[in-house]
Chain A
Amino acid sequence: MKRKQSARTGYLVGLLAAVFIIAGAVNAVGSDAPEKVTVVYGGSSWLGHYPAWVGIEKGLFQKRGLGVLFQNFYASSGRMGSLVAGDLDFASTGCISGIALMASGNKGFMAFGTPDSYATVEGLIAKESIKDIKDLKGKKVAAPFASSAHVLVLDLLEQNGLDPEKDLTLLNLRVNEMPAAMSSGEIDACAAWTPHFNKLLNAPGNHLLADDTQFSLYKKYRLGPGPDLLVVRKEFAKKYPNTCKAFVESYFEAVDLLIQKPEECADVLVKLTNLSKEDQMSVLKDIQWIRGSEQKALMVQPGKFVEGMQRLAEFLVKHKQIDQAPNVKDWIAEEMVP
């Protein structure tokens, strides 16, 4: 009886030891695995979201054990609001919204990269009779307020000695409402970004007055009026570091794919943008993608992009768009920059 009991005890101890060893082995193997397998990304049809879309469509996130849900938002402000409210985990945002949120003092998010540089897919389009920025005096100009296009207009007007409050009528209009307003003659010029920029430019009677290359900060920092910023919810990043690492790696693998195989990427991007393949390729041709290996120099050391963002924040204060310029560096998650 006693021998049977001790044999049974021995079996149980052996079984428990085996379970612990196996569990330990599994744990050791899965220690880099994403803690959270579903990630919500805030995007739109804007080019700053192309890598996320390509990553989803080409299974780049999936191969690292991540499922990414692409949530559409028309405006960066809505996207950033949802991010800090906890409904999104990652996003790409126009810098203006990012800076505005920093200026509000909210520390619920961090920035870790900039995926692209563009200068010819956003600009000020005018009727052909308007040859120069100075010809905008007394005219009606539309731009979506609190956007990169709005900042571009303010900067161009300033460079040409025009006051948006006194010398012309600057209206707040969404980019998708601009074609009708231009064709009906209710506005004389408008500032928009791709894909609406392309549609407006292709409309008869319109021509390009200026694009982002004429933005004052572009000349020094190669920074457009609203470059894209990759952001993550701070609480999410702290809680799920492996998930974030997997996301960042997949994201920049998608950037590499956009550089190496643009035509293959265009095939999946048209589903997002509703552009023709020809127009999509034309947009892709104008984008300078920034690889993962280039991020540290821009975001950390020497950090020219961050310095440019600081100047952009000061520009927004000067034009009374925000109350004070935040210290942008405080929002950079250096540990997440690839």
Chain B
Amino acid sequence: MKKEDKGVSYLVVSVLSLLIFLFLWESLCRMGFIEPLFLPAPTKILARAVKMIENGQLIQHTLASTRRVMVGFMVSSLVAIPFGIFLGSSRFFMAVFDPLISLLRPLPSMSWIPLSLLWLGISETQKYSIVFMGSFAPSLLYIIEATKSIDPLLIRAARNLGASKLDVMREVILPGALPQIIAGLKVMLGIAWTCIISAELVAAREGLGFMIMNGKEYFQTDTVLLGMVMISITVMVIDIVFRKFERSLLPWTR
């Protein structure tokens, strides 16, 4: 069997598996085995989606959350990449910052809400900061590890040929670590999305996190599930765009 044919058959298996799962779920709901409050049928979720697309709310919520995640994540990446490469290249400065990074790493984004409110109030900046704090430490660690994984021989060779420390970082470490950094950032983008519920808990009136929590308040479980599905779909779409960007940024890895 050709490679392309195998790929198509696996795709068919995946689609069929999803359809069977949805069919089972719908059947169990219709037969009364599942209480709608706890898990509404897929058709109910779809009906909610149609209603919210018609009144424009679904697009509005999706765009608001995407903006918050992308801004928070971009700022986090722009800070984490140079800082991570720097720390990965210097054992001394790694030792200096290691205790602080170890303290920050396990903190969930939700734990930053009280401080972010005090420091930044209830503005959009507060929401960006929640995404930033939720994704910064894990991104930084990933980049540090990617930097450390560069073959030291390459660095020594560059130094022997007269490259300065900055030249080594720019010409050896960054291109060498970039594939791993990009791969790590793709994972971190998913983590950044998990922060959106925390970010939109306070003083939000739009966004998928807000939509989920508001749906919960009114026992509209179909709205809650729709919000979750939209987060998954949005991350998938961003992932596809990210992969195209990755290919253009790293042509030597093709």
Contact = CB atoms under 8 A, between A and B. Distances in A.
Interface of A: 75, 77, 80-81, 84-85, 97, 100-101, 103-106, 108, 142, 145-146, 169-174, 177, 180-181, 184, 186-187, 321-323
Contacts of A105: 36-37
Interface string B187-214: 0000000000000001111000010001
Contact of B37 (A77, A84, A145, A177): A84
The 5 closest A-B pairs by CB, nearest first: A146-B217, A104-B219, A100-B218, A106-B37, A77-B217
Given A105-B37, A146-B218, A322-B218, A172 B205 contact: yes
B156 interface: no
Contacts of B210: 172
Contact of A181 (B122, B214, B217, B219): B122
Given A181-B122, A184-B121, A77 B216 contact: yes
* Main SS class of interface, B: loop
B103 interface: no
A294 B203 CA distance: 40
Interface of B: 35-38, 117-118, 121-123, 202-205, 210, 214, 216-221
Nearest to A75: B217
Given A104-B36, A145-B214, A181 B221 contact: no
Contacts of A85: 38
Nearest to A102: B219
Contacts, number: 72
A173 B37 contact: no
Contact of A180 (B117, B204, B205): B117
Contacts of B123: 186
Nearest to B200: A172
A101 B122 contact: no
B175 to A, nearest CB: 45
Of A103, A172, A180, which is in contact with the most chain B CB atoms at under 10 Å from its CB? A172
Contact of B219 (A81, A145, A171, A177): A81
A142 B117 CA distance: 15
Contacts of B35: 106, 108
A104 B121 contact: no
Nearest to B118: A180
A309 to B, nearest CB: 16
A173 B201 CA distance: 8
Which residue among B117, B122, B123, B214 has the maximum number of chain A CB atoms within 10 Å of its CB?
B122
A101 B221 CA distance: 11
B202 A104 contact: no
A97 to B, nearest CB: 8
B202 to A, nearest CB: 6
Contact of B221 (A104, A170, A186): A104
A80 B205 contact: no
6 contacts: A75-B217, A104-B220, A146-B218, A169-B205, A181-B203, A186-B121
Given A84-B37, A104-B36, A171-B203, 19 more contacts: A77-B217, A81-B216, A100-B218, A101-B37, A101-B219, A105-B37, A106-B35, A145-B217, A146-B214, A146-B217, A169-B205, A171-B122, A171-B205, A172-B204, A172-B205, A177-B117, A181-B121, A181-B203, A323-B220
A281 to B, nearest CB: 31
A100 B217 contact: yes
Contact of A80 (B36, B117, B202, B219): B219
Given A77-B219, A170-B205, A186 B37 contact: no
Contacts of B220: 104, 323
B217 to A, nearest CB: 3
A315 B235 CA distance: 37
B203 to A, nearest CB: 5
Contacts of B36: 104-106
A172 B219 contact: no
A323 B52 CA distance: 12
A304 B220 CA distance: 28
B110 to A, nearest CB: 14
A142 B210 CA distance: 15
A100 B224 CA distance: 14
Contacts of A81: 216, 219
A172 B221 contact: no
Contact of B203 (A75, A101, A172): A172
Contacts of B37: 84, 101, 104-106, 108
Contacts of A77: 216-219
A323 B219 CA distance: 11
Contacts of A170: 205
B107 to A, nearest CB: 20
Given A84-B37, A142-B203, A146-B214, A100 B121 contact: no
A77 B203 CA distance: 18
Contacts of B118: 180
Contacts of B218: 77, 100, 103-104, 146, 321-322
Contacts of B122: 171, 173, 177, 181, 186-187
